[in-house]
Copies of this chain bind each other. A is one copy, B any other.
């Protein structure tokens, strides 16, 4: 007989809680925490907490400091550059490939995610919006047929969320973001792999520029917007603008 509620393992729950806490800033970047403390707060023992933290450490979100505690790492400007350089290298080719490989379910799922984004944007629901944004991208990445690529890029987004999600609206409305995704979706539906890849490229680049300019401004103080970082390694001496 099959168990219906199938509760997730403690480890998975702890991992989700900790990841959410780090992303939300509830565990402040740069702060130190003890495994014992976290375990008590979560109502479990040290072991699953430690194991979840090991996974987060591998992803670069935290760092163990022996006999001191677990440090919540901050996402530096350089981290954002790394993440977006990688996304620029990987996502456009993934979309190019996904365009010709999407099956019916994936295509339907992609439409669903986009519809949810539109609805969330209308309702001004930022959280739901970014949640489906992420799933939209994930469907595309998985449709490329390369699971490692999909998992890696999806993991990179955690780094961005920590700095970006709550402030993104300062420079770009939710409707603009929806429009960029609509362009990608339309080109995919039309079977234009090149166009879709290019649209994705522009979307990622646009996001990167806004986020990095914004964060650089936050780091350097208001008024400083001179940011011209060399993100796009894609091709030979391509015009960066």
Q: Which B residues touch A51, using CB under 8 A?
A: 50-51, 54
Taking the closest CB of chain B, its distance from the CB of A86, in whole angstroms, is 6
Can you list 20 pairs linking A and B with CB atoms under 8 Å apart? A51-B51, A54-B55, A55-B58, A82-B146, A82-B148, A82-B149, A85-B146, A85-B149, A86-B90, A89-B89, A89-B90, A89-B93, A90-B90, A93-B233, A93-B234, A96-B236, A148-B156, A152-B152, A194-B236, A194-B237
The answer to whether A60 and B233 touch (CB under 8 A), given A51-B51, A89-B89, is: no
A132 within 8 A of B: no
Q: Give the contact-size bracket for chain A.
A: 20 to 34
Q: Is the CB–CB distance between B94 and A148 below 8 Å?
A: no
Contact A60 B148 (CB under 8 A): yes
**Nearest CB in chain B to that of A149: its residue:** B86
The answer to whether A220 has its CB under 8 Å from any CB of chain B is no
Which of A's residues lie within 8 Å of B, judged by CB? 50-51, 54-55, 58, 60, 82-83, 85-86, 89-90, 93-94, 96-97, 144, 146-149, 152, 156, 194, 197, 233-237
In whole angstroms, what is the CA distance A194 to B41 when docked?
54
